[in-house]
């Protein structure tokens, strides 16, 4: 399915929920999949309120519950009452409401920003706009520098950097039975380098795609064009590619084709919370997290931020009262869901973001809200955001491991967000400008699985299945009968799954038998402690004011200076250090 959304290039990659945009069960819908005649709200209930009391309160305010998560105390409500929010505020068991805004328009300021999709400002920079390369150049795998287990391992500088290799951590992988949940745009469970480790039975899709906005312009694209001709995709589908890449980095198996992930023996579970367009909304994210806790997921990766606010502020003066209420509902509901998952044994890992900003300093946000509730509404600049009262979810949630990104040289990637006290650990996420010349080089990205249908749709392969772009690679098994595609991406979305994979290795190495769900289990606190203590200490650059110089394909030169604060064992660029698969399992 084509993805038409564009966003500001400074948006995080996660990139990448407020409330369910598509119509929930029971809401009236148009032929295009939009909601008609009713408003939708996400309602946050007071903790401990009974089901009977919450339902009575919603009814008294003039609403009808169509979807609820009782563990977290959140419900999606539809109403025709114009004063529903005020009436709900008068109910003692309702803590807050947020308009579940149907996407109406892509803000003009964001349409012209030049980024590809919500996650993919860094992806757009990696790919650029040059013409297709020759098939020979783009499909070459390059000679391996040493004996390797998988055909493309020689291109995996990222795995070599963290000791995840055939003569490194792969020799000691004990992750059979360890479950890793991928909260993302979906996972292509049929990809040859994912299928052996994919658990279709446990996988779920918690969101629904939206075809068009209120103006009839595409958002996720026509459902009829999807392989299943539906906006309600199966739980083994990824029509964006982001989630498949993340899953592959974590757990592609050693099977004689393509690559291997950080934890090649792990079990991958698709917990789809993001739409094809890259939007992640609150209800889907909350539901995915609580499900993860209920079914025994050991680690989740969250390479996104919760739409529509990059930063959710308690009382920023530029925000209306309604916007402030919505942001507080997002923070509270998400934190409840994160607490629920962590309390049920789930280690929480998240991308730090791709805005090239220090999250511990006062900053501006010109990308929020990143979709509009009415035609013509645009994002507005919010200056002087106070880091003490403005929170990005989930990366700044309590109990969440925030991961910054590094390039081939080990430097912090030019796009990666940072901040002393914000970043917990760092991991390879790619930086195509991390070379002596400061020019774009594709091997500087992270290579991982690429759904074949998307490879064809995005023009990466020709009618014969041969790769014709420099950012994609094809690999076949020894027989030549089974082939798969891989793409280079970069971003903190790519760094986070490296840390999640190492966390899975830790669960496998040090965990105990999970008598309830099977497999192994280890408390998130212990997993986190080992991850932090075994990360390789990486000091700030000297001088600490590091200037990035990028010579862009257009001929222009971009420069930016980021200041690293902290000491050699903990600082704003690398946190407690760069994760390492081999040291994490005591080798």
- Please state which architecture CATH assigns to domain 39-99: 2-Layer Sandwich (3.30)
pLDDT on residue 142: 37
**Please, are residues 126 and 442 in contact by the beta-carbon 8 Å criterion?**
yes
Write out the DSSP string of 229-270: S-SS--TT--SSSHHHHHHHHHH---SSSS---SSTTPEEEE
3-state DSSP percent of the chain in helix, strand and coil, to 5: 25, 20, 55
Answer yes or no: same fold for 39-99 and 116-302+340-350+397-584: no
- Note down pLDDT in tens along the chain; length 587 residues: 322 222 222 233 233 222 222 222 223 333 333 334 578 888 999 999 999 999 999 999 999 999 899 999 999 999 999 899 999 999 999 999 987 654 433 333 333 222 224 555 667 777 764 433 333 333 433 333 443 589 999 999 999 999 999 999 999 999 999 999 999 999 999 999 999 999 999 999 998 877 765 556 666 667 777 666 777 788 999 999 999 999 999 999 999 999 999 999 999 999 999 988 888 989 899 999 999 999 999 999 999 999 889 999 999 999 988 889 989 999 999 999 999 999 999 999 999 999 999 999 999 998 888 866 666 667 788 999 999 999 999 999 999 999 999 999 999 999 999 999 999 999 999 999 999 999 988 789 999 999 999 999 999 999 999 999 999 999 999 999 999 999 999 999 999 999 999 999 999 999 999 989 988 999 999 999 999 999 999 999 999 999 999 999 889 999 999 999 999 999 999 999 999 999 999 98
SS3 for 83-95 is CHHHHHHCCCCEE
Angle 492-510/242-251 helices, nearest 10 degrees? 40
Q: What is the pTM of this model?
A: 0.89
C-alpha 430/C-alpha 433 separation (Å) is: 9
**Please, are residues 250 and 261 in contact by the beta-carbon 8 Å criterion?**
yes
Sheet with 347-351: strands ordered across: 204-205, 267-272, 179-183, 299-302, 347-351, 400-406, 425-428
Does 116-302+340-350+397-584 carry CATH code 3.40.50.200?
yes
Q: Nearest Cα to 345, choosing from 125, 203, 183, 507?
A: 507
Q: What is the DSSP secondary structure assignment for residue 520, as one 8-state letter?
A: E
Q: Nearest Cα to 358, choosing from 565, 512, 510?
A: 565
pLDDT on residue 448: 98
The residues spanned by each domain of the chain are 39-99, 116-302+340-350+397-584
C-alpha 529/C-alpha 310 separation (Å) is: 28
Start-end of H helices in 296-425: 321-343
**Which residues make beta-bridge pairs with 427?**
405
Q: How far is CA 361 from CA 197, 223, 327, 354, 422, in A?
A: 41, 43, 20, 16, 11
pLDDT on residue 228: 66
C-alpha 406/C-alpha 410 separation (Å) is: 5
**Please, are residues 58 and 43 in contact by the beta-carbon 8 Å criterion?**
yes
Q: Nearest Cα to 482, choosing from 267, 281, 264, 192?
A: 192
pLDDT on residue 136: 34
How buried is residue 558: exposed, middle or buried, by Cβ count under 10 Å (0-12/13-18/19+)? middle
Return phi, psi of residue 339, to 5°. -65, -40
Q: Nearest Cα to 100, choosing from 234, 233, 259, 284?
A: 284
**Please, are residues 376 and 284 in contact by the beta-carbon 8 Å criterion?**
no
C-alpha 155/C-alpha 259 separation (Å) is: 9
Sheet with 39-45: strands ordered across: 63-69, 74-79, 39-45, 94-99
**Please, are residues 53 and 75 in contact by the beta-carbon 8 Å criterion?**
no
Element (H, E) at 406: strand 400-406
pLDDT on residue 474: 97
């Amino acid at each position: 399915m084509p993805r038409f959304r564009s966003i500001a290039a400074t948006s995080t990659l996660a990139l990448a929920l407020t409330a369910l945009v598509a119509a929930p069960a029971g809401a009236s819908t148009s032929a295009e999949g939009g909601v008609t005649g009713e408003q939708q709200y996400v309602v946050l209930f007071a903790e401990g309120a009974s089901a009977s009391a919450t339902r009575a309160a919603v009814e008294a305010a003039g609403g009808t519950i169509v979807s609820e998560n009782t563990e977290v105390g959140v419900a999606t409500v539809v109403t025709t009452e114009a004063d529903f929010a005020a009436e709900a505020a008068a109910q003692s068991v309702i803590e807050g409401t947020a308009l579940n805004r149907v996407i109406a328009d892509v803000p003009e300021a964001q349409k012209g920003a030049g980024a590809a999709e919500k996650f993919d400002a860094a992806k757009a920079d990696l790919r650029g706009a040059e013409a297709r390369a020759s098939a020979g150049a783009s499909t070459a795998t390059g000679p391996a520098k040493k004996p390797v287990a998988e055909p493309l391992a020689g291109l995996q500088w990222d795995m070599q950097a963290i000791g995840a290799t055939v003569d490194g951590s792969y020799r000691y992988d004990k992750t059979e039975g360890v479950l890793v949940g991928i909260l993302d745009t979906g996972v292509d469970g049929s990809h040859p380098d994912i299928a052996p480790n994919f658990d279709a039975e446990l996988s779920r899709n918690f969101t629904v795609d939206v075809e068009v906005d209120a103006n009839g312009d595409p958002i996720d694209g026509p459902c009829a064009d999807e392989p299943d001709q539906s906006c309600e995709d199966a739980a083994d589908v990824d029509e964006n590619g982001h989630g498949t890449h993340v899953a592959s980095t974590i757990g592609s198996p050693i099977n004689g084709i393509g690559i291997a992930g950080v934890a090649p023996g792990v079990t991958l579970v698709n917990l789809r919370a993001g739409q094809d367009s890259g939007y992640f909304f609150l209800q889907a994210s909350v539901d995915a997290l609580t499900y993860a806790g209920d079914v025994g997921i050991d680690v989740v990766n969250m390479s996104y931020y919760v739409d529509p606010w990059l930063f959710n502020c308690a009382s920023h003066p530029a925000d209306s009262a309604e916007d402030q209420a919505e942001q507080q509902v997002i923070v509270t509901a998400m934190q409840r869901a994160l607490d629920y998952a962590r309390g049920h044994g789930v280690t929480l890992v998240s991308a730090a973001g791709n805005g090239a900003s220090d999250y511990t300093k006062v900053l501006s946000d010109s990308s929020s809200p990143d979709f509009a509730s009415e035609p013509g509404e645009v994002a507005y600049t919010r200056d002087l955001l106070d880091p003490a009262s403005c929170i990005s979810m989930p990366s700044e949630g309590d109990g969440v491991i925030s991961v910054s990104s590094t390039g081939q040289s080990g430097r912090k990637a030019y796009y990666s967000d940072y901040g002393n006290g914000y970043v917990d650990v760092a991991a390879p996420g790619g930086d195509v400008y991390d070379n002596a010349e400061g020019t774009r080089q594709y091997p500087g990205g992270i290579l991982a699985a690429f759904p074949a249908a998307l490879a064809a749709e995005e023009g990466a392969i020709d009618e014969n299945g041969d790769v014709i772009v420099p950012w994609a690679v094809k690999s076949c098994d020894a027989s030549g009968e089974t082939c798969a595609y891989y793409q280079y991406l970069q971003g903190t979305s790519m760094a986070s799954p490296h840390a999640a994979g190492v966390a899975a290795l830790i669960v496998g190495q040090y965990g105990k038998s999970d008598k309830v769900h099977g497999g192994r289990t280890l408390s998130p606190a212990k997993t986190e402690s080992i991850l932090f203590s075994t990360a390789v200490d990486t000091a700030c650059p000297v001088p600490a004011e590091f200037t990035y110089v990028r010579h862009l394909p257009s001929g222009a030169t971009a420069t930016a200076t980021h200041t690293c604060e902290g000491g050699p064992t903990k600082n704003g660029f690398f946190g407690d250090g760069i994760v390492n698969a081999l040291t994490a399992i005591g080798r």
